[in-house]
Structure formats: C-alpha cells, structure tokens
C-alpha cells in the first residue's frame, strides 16, 4: 500500500483518485488515531489514510459496516462518501465522510467538566442509550464475520505476543506483574462468561464527540464487529474512570455485568497499544504504550 506520511502524500493520492475534490484548504489533524492519518478538507470533510496494511483492512471493514448501521443508532455516525483502493493490491487507500459536529471528549476536556454533574450525567445518558441500541442490533443483519475465537482465547493470544515481543523492552518487575495479572485472569473461567453482541470496539476519548454538553457523534468504527460488550465498557473505564463508567452502567445495567472483565481489559490496553504499534512500525505510539513498563 502507499506510504502516506505527510499532507503532500495525502493530497497527491486525493488528486490522483478524486480529482473533482477541491484541495486548496486542507490540513492534517495531529494527535488523533493510532492507526490512520486524518485530514480535514474545506472544514467540511474528514478523510482517513491508513498507516499500515492491517489498518487498511480495519478501515475497509468500517467502510462496509457503517451503511448497515445508518438509521439504527441514537447518535450521529459517519456516512462514507469517498474511498479509493490501490489498483494493484486492492488495499484501501483512504475513506472520507462529512465532518460530524463537535470535538473529541479528551481526558482533559472531560476533567474540566467533572464539576458540572448535569453535563456529566447527560453524557452518561447519551452513551448508555447509544451502547444499548448498538448492542441490541441483530448481528446477522449486518453480515458481520463469525467469531473465530472467544474473548479468552483472543487475550491468551495477546499474552503470548506480549511475552514474545514486549517483554524484552520491559523491566523485570513489570514482566512479573503482567504475568501474574494474565495468569490470574486467564485462569478464572468465571471471568469470561458473557454473550457476544455488536460492539464499537474502540470507545476511547478520541472517538466520542461532544457539542454543547451532549454527545454529538461516535467515530472510528474500524474495530466494530461481533464481540464482547465488556470491550466497550473497558474503553470507557480507561478513558474516564470508574465513577463515570458506573454512571453509564446505572442507565444500562446489562453493560455492568461485564465490569470485572472490562477492568481486566483496561489494565492491559497500553500493552496492546505498544503491540499494535510494533506491528505497524510506529515508534511514537510504541514508546507511549510501553513507557510505564520500562
């Protein structure tokens, strides 16, 4: 696939594949997304360019699943308008959609809102209603791939990769702590009881948009699929903490059934960040993910 790294690279691809687009007002949005470069065009369009072949695969899945979700959810989601594939490899080069209103609910922005309990409650209500609707969608109506491994099998695979690929970069005591956590979690069969459903898969701070004190959109659907609902709760825990996740669960009690599993996931998200960054050759993301373990 094309090695997109700069604004010039992105504009060159757009000019080649979408010559009708006006390209005079375009800029890269920095610091958002581990797997895609994000370009804003004309203050109207968002275009995403995958950083690796694996990211291109996930972005292609997003392009397929978003039309099936249209009209089913209580919050706005992207509606893809543009896309192009590499004529040789077939890899997705980019996809684009009209910009949704609002700005990402990053941790510092959320921290500034904590004193306003009414706004925090509205955000919790919005996210609970969104996840309730998403998790209730019949998977066969979206033509999602079948689950090939259980959540426990998936995390056992992650553990093996972490031991093989990340342990050499980690302190000895950090290795021991991670091993104890995984051995305990993977060995507890009761932890893994749960039914799969349609999940977003990456409900992190950069993918939840806020406008005027309400959630105004949910973006970045590359990890959407048939999976563990605790995955969505785990991302909320990692992003906004236990107290906020508890608020969401009060409005969507079924989500709270996976709380123990979500806590296990939350413990190890930084290691997954480092693992995926190593796969994609992204040194900055690797350093960020592994920092606490060095």
- Where does 103-293 sit in CATH, by number? 3.90.1200.10
Question: What proportion of the chain, given as a percentage, has pLDDT over 90?
Answer: 84
- CATH class belonging to 7-98: alpha beta
In the chain, the DSSP E strands lie at: 26-29, 36-41, 45-50, 80-85, 92-98, 103-104, 197-199, 208-211, 214-218, 225-227
Its pTM stands at 0.93
Delimiting residues of CATH 3.30.200.20 domain(s) in the chain: 7-98
**pLDDT score of 240 more than 60:** yes
Output the pLDDT for position 1.
Answer: 46
**pLDDT score of 4 more than 80:** no
Question: What are the tens digits of pLDDT across the range 19-45?
Answer: 998 898 999 988 777 889 999 999 999
Q: Kindly report which listed range (24-33, 72-81, 107-116, 244-253) carries the lowest average pLDDT score.
A: 24-33
C-alpha–C-alpha distance, residues 207 and 150, integer Å: 25
Q: Using CA of residue 18, residue 22, residue 28, residue 32, what is the dihedral sign?
A: negative
Calculate mean pLDDT across residues 73-85.
Answer: 96
C-alpha–C-alpha distance, residues 155 and 258, integer Å: 15
Q: Using CA of residue 59, residue 64, residue 65, residue 67, what is the dihedral sign?
A: positive
**pLDDT score of 3 more than 60:** no
Delimiting residues of CATH 3.90.1200.10 domain(s) in the chain: 103-293
Calculate mean pLDDT across residues 92-102.
Answer: 95
Secondary structure element (H or E) that encloses residue 158, with its range: helix 151-161
Residues 145/198, Cβ–Cβ less than 8 Å? no
- Where b means 16+ CB within 10 Å and e means fewer, 76-113 reads bbbebebbebeeeeebbbbbbbebbebebbbeeebeee
What are the C-alpha distances in Å from 5 to residues 34, 37, 48, 89?
13, 8, 12, 19
């Amino acid at each position: 696939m094309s090695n997109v790294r700069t604004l010039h690279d992105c504009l060159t691809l757009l000019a080649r594949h979408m010559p009708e687009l006006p390209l005079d007002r375009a800029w890269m949005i920095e610091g958002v997304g581990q797997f895609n470069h994000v370009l804003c065009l004309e203050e109207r369009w968002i275009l995403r360019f995958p950083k690796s072949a694996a990211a291109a695969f996930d972005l292609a899945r997003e392009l397929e699943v978003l039309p099936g979700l249209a009209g089913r959810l209580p919050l706005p989601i992207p509606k893809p308008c543009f896309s192009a594939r590499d004529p040789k490899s077939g890899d997705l080069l980019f996809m684009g959609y009209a910009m949704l209103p609002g700005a990402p609910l990053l941790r510092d922005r959320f921290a500034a809102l904590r004193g306003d309990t009414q706004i925090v409650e509205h955000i919790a209500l919005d996210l609970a209603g969104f996840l309730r609707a998403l998790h209730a969608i019949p998977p066969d109506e979206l033509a999602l791939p079948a689950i090939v491994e259980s959540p426990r099998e998936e995390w056992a695979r992650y553990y093996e990769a972490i031991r093989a690929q990340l342990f050499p970069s980690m302190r000895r005591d950090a290795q021991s702590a991670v091993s104890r956590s995984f051995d305990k979690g993977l060995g507890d069969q009761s932890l893994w009881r749960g039914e799969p459903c349609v999940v977003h898969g990456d409900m992190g701070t950069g993918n939840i948009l806020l406008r005027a004190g309400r959630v105004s959109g949910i973006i970045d659907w590359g990890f959407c699929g048939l999976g563990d609902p605790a995955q969505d709760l785990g991302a909320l825990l990692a992003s906004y903490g236990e107290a906020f996740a508890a608020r969401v669960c009060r409005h969507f009690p079924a989500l709270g059934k996976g709380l123990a599993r979500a806590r296990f996931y939350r413990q190890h998200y930084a290691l997954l960040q480092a693992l995926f960054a190593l796969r994609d050759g992204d040194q900055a993301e690797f350093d960020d993910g592994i920092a606490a373990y060095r």
